[in-house]
Amino acid sequence: MVPLADLFNHKTGTEDVHFTFASSAGESEDDTENTTNCSDGELQTESSFFTDDRSISAVIGKTSLDRADFGYPQDVKENSTVLEMIIVKDVKAGVEVFNTYGLMGNAALLHRYGFTEIDNPYDIVNIDLDLVVQWSSATFSGRFTRSRLSLWRRLSYAGCVSQNSEYFEISFDGEPQIELLILLHIISLTEDAYTELNLAVSVAENSKESLIYNSLKKSNGMLLSSDGILLSKGVRRALLSLADMRESLYGLSSLDDDIEKLRNSCCIRERKLYHSLTLRVSERRILNRLRTWSAGIARRVAFSKKLKR
C-alpha cells in the first residue's frame, strides 16, 4: 500500500484521496499500528489512518463502506492485497491530487518521511520541566521550587514524558498545556495560599480539581479559564519568561533573520538547512503566539476589573 500511496504528495488536513485495504474492515485491532502521545491520540499513524473506515466514511458522508458498491469480482473481494483509492472531495482537471500521511507536526513528518510543511497547523513547541525548574529556582529559590513542585505532584499532575524527559506542549495557537498552567499557578501562590492548599491536600477528600479551584479562586487579579484554571499575573509573567528562555536556545539570530534565510534556501540543494529553518521558524512563531495569548489574558483581566467598578 505504501509505495502506491507515496505516489501522491502529502497535504495536512486538506488531502484529496484516501487509501485503504479492501479487507481492512475484517482485520483485528491488533494488526493496526497504534500511536500514543500527550495529546491523547490526536495524531494518527499512516497505518491507522488509512485502515480506519470510520475516518473515510466521515469525509465522504457515509455511515459505512459497502464493498459491493464498488463492483469488485468475487476473487478481488477476497484478496487482502487489493487497495481502494477513495476520492474524498472534488478535484479540478489538471490540478495535483494530494494524499495524507496523517495529522502530524513537522518534527514527525521530517523524522518519518523526510519533509516538512510551511505553517503546519499541527506543529507544537515543547517546554521542558527542567526549564520551568530553572526559571523558578532563579526567580525564587531551589528549596521554594522543590516544595511547589512536590505539591503539584501530590495533586497527581505530570507533564508529557518521552525518553526520560518531561515536558509541556504549547499548541500551534500558542495555548499552553493545562498542567503547565497549574504548576505555574502553584509556584506563583503567596505563602499563605500555598500553606492553605498544602493543608487541604493533606486532609481533604475532594477531587484535585475542587482543591485547586477552591484554594485559588480567592486570589486577586485572576481570570477563570474554560478549563477551570485561574490565570494570575504571576502566571502570565512566568509564561513570558519561559517563552524568552525557550527562544534563547535558538541563538542570537532573530525570527526575521531565520525567515529570510528560509526564503533564500532551497529544499532540494540544501535539504538539511531548509527543514531545520522550517522547524525553527514554526517554533519561534508559536512562542510569539504564546506571548500574544498571555497578553490577551491580561487584557481580559483588565477589562473584567473595569466592569466590576
Per-residue pLDDT reduced to its tens digit, 98-143: 877 778 999 998 998 888 999 999 999 999 999 999 999 999 999 9
Q: What is the pLDDT of residue 175?
A: 94
Q: What is the pLDDT of residue 222?
A: 45
Q: Is residue 111, in this structure, part of any structural domain at all?
A: no
User: What is the spatial distance between Cα 12 and Cα 9, in angstroms, rounded to a whole number?
Assistant: 10
Residues sharing a CB contact under 8 Å with residue 292, sequence separation 6 or more, in sequence order: 174
Same-domain check for residues 65 and 174: no
Same-domain check for residues 219 and 99: no
Which of residues 71, 104, 137 is at a domain's end? Answer: 104
Q: What angle do CA 217, 222, 223 make, to 5 degrees?
A: 95
Which of residues 104, 138, 171 is at a domain's end? Answer: 104
* Cell (9 digits) for 286: 508559536
User: What is the spatial distance between Cα 170 and Cα 178, in angstroms, rounded to a whole number?
Assistant: 10
Q: Is residue 258, in this structure, part of any structural domain at all?
A: yes
151 Cα distance to chain centroid: 26
Q: What is the pLDDT of residue 56?
A: 35
Same-domain check for residues 54 and 193: no
User: What is the spatial distance between Cα 8 and Cα 56, in angstroms, rounded to a whole number?
Assistant: 17
Q: Is residue 33, in this structure, part of any structural domain at all?
A: yes
Same-domain check for residues 146 and 280: yes
Same-domain check for residues 94 and 161: no
Cα–Cα separations (whole angstroms), residue 278 to 99, 169, 198, 291: 21, 19, 44, 20
Q: Is residue 112, in this structure, part of any structural domain at all?
A: no
Same-domain check for residues 303 and 176: yes
Q: What is the pLDDT of residue 263?
A: 95
Q: Is residue 157, in this structure, part of any structural domain at all?
A: yes
Same-domain check for residues 42 and 164: no
Q: Are strands 230-231 and 223-224 parallel, antiparallel or unpaired?
A: antiparallel
Q: Which one-letter amino acid corresponds to residue 142?
A: G
Q: Is residue 113, in this structure, part of any structural domain at all?
A: no
Residues sharing a CB contact under 8 Å with residue 206, sequence separation 6 or more, in sequence order: 200, 214
Three-state DSSP at 135 gives helix
Q: Which structural domain, as residue segments, surrounds residue 212?
A: 125-308
Closest CA to 95 of 11, 13, 2, 12: 11
Q: What is the pLDDT of residue 295?
A: 86
Same-domain check for residues 38 and 168: no
Same-domain check for residues 96 and 221: no
Q: Is residue 208, in this structure, part of any structural domain at all?
A: yes
Which of residues 104, 139, 159 is at a domain's end? Answer: 104
Q: Is residue 85, in this structure, part of any structural domain at all?
A: yes
How many separate domains does the chain show? 2
* Weakly modelled stretches of the chain, pLDDT under 70: 1-6, 13, 21-81, 204-230, 298-309
Q: What is the pLDDT of residue 30?
A: 46
Residues sharing a CB contact under 8 Å with residue 295, sequence separation 6 or more, in sequence order: 236
Length of the chain: 309
Residues sharing a CB contact under 8 Å with residue 304, sequence separation 6 or more, in sequence order: 223
Sheet of 160-162: strands edge to edge? 125-128, 165-170, 160-162
User: What is the spatial distance between Cα 280 and Cα 272, in angstroms, rounded to a whole number?
Assistant: 12
Same-domain check for residues 88 and 181: no
